[in-house]
């Protein structure tokens, strides 16, 4: 028979239960020497209803007070005082789970939650040394080999691996949150590295700054496949890694959010004519493609190619066509009502920064293009199942629509796929605060993106579609999306408002853990949620391939590295051409 993981001696006893409420326990400390080794977050075992059961608590507060009592009989008090000052030590902990030496046929099991409450005067023991090593070792033992996700080691015991359930981590949405320089990018690279070892991973990374490009460098051992949203320099001869997001993929509201000014008194007329012409142009495409069955049920939001220049011509005709009265030409029904709408649309069509949307390649205007694009992003194919999409050249004002449209498109494909044919997909949203803001702070364009992501957050689990949100400012990220995340990797957070977000998302009994967030070292994190049995502080493993986001050594480089004159000159030309490639 396997020996019990927790074996205590009298030297491990710290005291007895003094008081209990629904989630916390107070221990009257009798071993003051042992108390000096206790730290916040230390684990304590409380003897349960049987000899084989212990309730596990995590220390969140230690206090000492002085009380006066009669001196011990026979003591020789030279001052002649009637009362003596005696210290009273109290340890307060939060109940987190139940450990059983034997549970049916199982040995050494731990489960979240307490099946019973500690009884007053029950003995309490500190879990340290060999007991701590054995206890930490069983936390990941309950996960099958197929679902184990190793993230690092426990800070409390560096010899024990910190194992999470990969299934629960991804299927119920997750968030990686931490201040700049705390190790978020390393955490992302580590998780992607672990996932890449699986046979058919399916993770799509929304890379806002191009920092994950090294993960796709096959010459350096890279494992990912990288794509770029087309920049102005890619419009003439796009490479195989260039992605277009043609305007016809946008639904009606997404398109109008970029072009329509809701404050314009003619906005309803402009939206009406736009909707009518787009629906007719899409219907004409279906006629040309011989898709009679699709035409019976399609809507104006269906992703069907049409010619935007032809749309512009139809709207321009509406705007300039005279009406006919009894005595001759009169002002037309739509005359001069579409002028501002047309000027805003023309500005987008002529701006090369928006070429990835309004000047797609000839192939991206064909009916079959969408299926090929979906296969490229949702299927592992012959390459890697880890896909990195670089959004660094997308204009900031349209970034929310681009990310939202792509996310909605991928989700819709997954939604309409047969249940048995689906394979799980995760969207990793880097720098989420840039395009998933708090709804009250969002403009019309951002709200379109929010709608797509919030729908995924609320419904995606049913269709095998999840989010992994990464941000340095959780207080600026949609509360709806964060509230749907059941797992958190919280790195160092120094801002009090950001800490408050984490605190609100945690159960009240564990909210005290957030007090250590500003004290975490680089690469350390609190791992919380359904994917782990024990909310705890871990040190993340260092990824083999590091992202291009390392903090520069300002003082050292100022003292040794001369600025590159040629590079500065080349950067000016890149600025002018709106492209990082010469």
Q: What is the pLDDT of residue 309?
A: 92
Classify residue 169: in a domain, yes or no. yes
Q: Could you tell me if 331 and 469 lie in one domain?
A: no
Q: Which of the given ranges, 65-74, 127-136, 441-450, has the highest pLDDT on average?
A: 127-136
- Residues 41 and 156 sit within 8 Å (Cβ to Cβ): yes
Domain that holds residue 284: 253-340
Overall domain count for the chain: 3
Q: Could you tell me if 374 and 506 lie in one domain?
A: yes
Radius of gyration of the chain (CA): 31
Q: What is the pTM of this model?
A: 0.84
Classify residue 50: in a domain, yes or no. yes
| pLDDT band at residue 577 under the 50/70/90 scheme | confident
Segment 340-364 mean pLDDT: 88
Segment 203-232 mean pLDDT: 89
Q: Could you tell me if 284 and 317 lie in one domain?
A: yes
Q: Could you tell me if 399 and 489 lie in one domain?
A: yes
User: What percent of the chain is predicted at pLDDT more than 90?
Assistant: 31
CA torsion sign, 277 to 282 to 286 to 292?
A: negative
Segment 192-210 mean pLDDT: 91
User: What percent of the chain is predicted at pLDDT more than 70?
Assistant: 94
Q: What is the pLDDT of residue 582?
A: 44
Q: Could you tell me if 187 and 263 lie in one domain?
A: no
- Residues 170 and 466 sit within 8 Å (Cβ to Cβ): yes
Beta bridge partners of 148: 165
Average pLDDT of the chain? 86
Classify residue 349: in a domain, yes or no. no
User: Where residue 230 sits, what CATH number does that domain have?
Assistant: 3.40.50.300
Q: Could you tell me if 402 and 507 lie in one domain?
A: yes
Classify residue 214: in a domain, yes or no. yes
Q: Which of the given ranges, 29-38, 158-167, 186-195, 333-342, has the highest pLDDT on average?
A: 186-195
| pLDDT band at residue 1 under the 50/70/90 scheme | very low
Q: What share of the chain is helix, strand, coil (3-state, %, to 5)?
A: 40, 25, 40
Q: How far apart are CA 356 and CA 145, in angstroms?
A: 43
| pLDDT band at residue 76 under the 50/70/90 scheme | low
429: helix, strand or coil = strand
Q: How far apart are CA 439 and CA 445, in angstroms?
A: 11
Q: Could you tell me if 231 and 266 lie in one domain?
A: no
- Residues 538 and 529 sit within 8 Å (Cβ to Cβ): no
- Residues 208 and 392 sit within 8 Å (Cβ to Cβ): yes
Q: What is the pLDDT of residues 102-157, one digit of tens each?
A: 877 788 888 887 777 888 999 999 998 888 888 888 877 777 788 889 999 888 87
Classify residue 568: in a domain, yes or no. no
Q: Could you tell me if 519 and 486 lie in one domain?
A: yes
Q: Could you tell me if 258 and 110 lie in one domain?
A: no
Classify residue 420: in a domain, yes or no. yes
Q: Could you tell me if 383 and 510 lie in one domain?
A: yes
| pLDDT band at residue 192 under the 50/70/90 scheme | very high
Q: How far apart are CA 31 and CA 13, in angstroms?
A: 7
Q: Could you tell me if 282 and 206 lie in one domain?
A: no
Q: What is the pLDDT of residues 456-503, one digit of tens each?
A: 999 998 999 999 999 999 999 999 999 999 999 999 998 888 888 888
Q: Max alpha carbon distance in the chain (Å)?
A: 125
């Amino acid at each position: 028979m396997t020996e019990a993981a927790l074996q205590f001696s009298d030297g491990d006893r710290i005291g007895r239960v003094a008081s209990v409420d629904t989630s916390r326990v107070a221990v009257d400390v009798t071993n003051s020497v042992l108390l000096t080794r206790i730290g916040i977050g230390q684990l304590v075992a409380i003897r349960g209803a049987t000899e084989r059961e212990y309730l596990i608590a995590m220390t969140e507060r230690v206090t000492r007070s002085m009380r006066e009592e009669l001196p011990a009989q026979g003591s020789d008090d030279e001052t002649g005082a009637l009362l003596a000052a005696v210290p009273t030590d109290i340890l307060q902990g939060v109940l987190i789970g139940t450990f059983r030496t034997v549970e049916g046929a199982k040995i050494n099991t731990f489960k979240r939650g307490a099946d019973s409450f500690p009884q007053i005067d029950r003995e309490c023991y500190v879990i340290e040394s060999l007991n701590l090593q054995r206890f930490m070792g069983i936390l990941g033992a309950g996960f099958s080999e197929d679902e184990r996700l190793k993230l690092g080691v426990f800070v409390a015991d560096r010899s024990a691996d910190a194992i999470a359930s990969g299934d629960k981590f991804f299927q119920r949405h997750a968030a990686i949150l931490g201040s700049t320089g705390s190790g978020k990018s390393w955490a992302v690279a580590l998780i992607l590295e672990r996932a890449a070892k699986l046979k058919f991973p399916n993770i799509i990374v929304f890379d806002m700054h191009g920092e994950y490009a090294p993960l796709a460098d096959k010459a350096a051992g890279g494992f990912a496949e990288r794509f770029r949203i087309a920049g102005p320099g890619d419009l003439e001869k796009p490479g195989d890694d260039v992605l277009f997001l043609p305007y016809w993929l946008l639904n009606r509201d997404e398109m109008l959010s970029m072009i329509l000014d809701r404050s314009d008194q003619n906005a309803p007329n402009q939206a009406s004519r736009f909707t009518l012409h787009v629906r007719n142009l899409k219907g004409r495409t279906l006629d040309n493609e011989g898709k009679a069955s699709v035409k019976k049920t399609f809507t104006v939001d269906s992703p069907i190619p049409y010619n935007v220049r032809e749309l512009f011509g139809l709207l321009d005709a509406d705007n300039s066509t005279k009406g006919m009265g009894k005595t001759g030409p009169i002002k037309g029904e739509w005359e001069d009502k579409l002028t501002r709408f047309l000027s805003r649309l023309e500005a987008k069509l002529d701006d090369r920064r928006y070429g990835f949307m309004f000047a797609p390649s000839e192939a991206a205007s064909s009916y079959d293009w969408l299926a090929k694009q979906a296969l490229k992003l949702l299927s592992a194919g012959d390459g890697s199942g880890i896909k990195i999409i670089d959004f660094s050249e997308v204009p900031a004002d349209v970034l929310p629509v681009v990310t939202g449209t792509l996310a909605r498109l991928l989700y819709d494909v997954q939604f309409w796929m047969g249940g048995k044919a689906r394979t799980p997909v995760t969207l990793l949203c880097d720098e989420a605060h840039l395009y998933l803001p708090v709804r009250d702070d969002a403009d019309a364009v951002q709200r379109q993106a929010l709608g797509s992501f919030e729908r995924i957050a609320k419904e995606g689990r049913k269709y095998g579609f999840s989010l992994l949100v990464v941000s340095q400012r959780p207080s600026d990220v949609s509360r709806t999306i964060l509230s749907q995340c059941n797992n958190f990797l919280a790195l160092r957070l120094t801002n009090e408002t950001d800490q408050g977000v984490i605190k609100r998302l945690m159960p009240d009994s564990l909210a005290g853990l957030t007090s250590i967030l500003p004290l975490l070292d680089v690469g350390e994190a609190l791992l919380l949620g359904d994917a782990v049995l024990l909310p705890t502080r871990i040190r993340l493993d260092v990824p083999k391939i590091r992202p291009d986001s390392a903090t520069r050594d300002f003082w050292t480089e100022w003292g040794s590295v001369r600025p590159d004159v040629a590079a500065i000159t080349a950067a000016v030309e890149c600025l002018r051409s709106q492209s990082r490639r010469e």
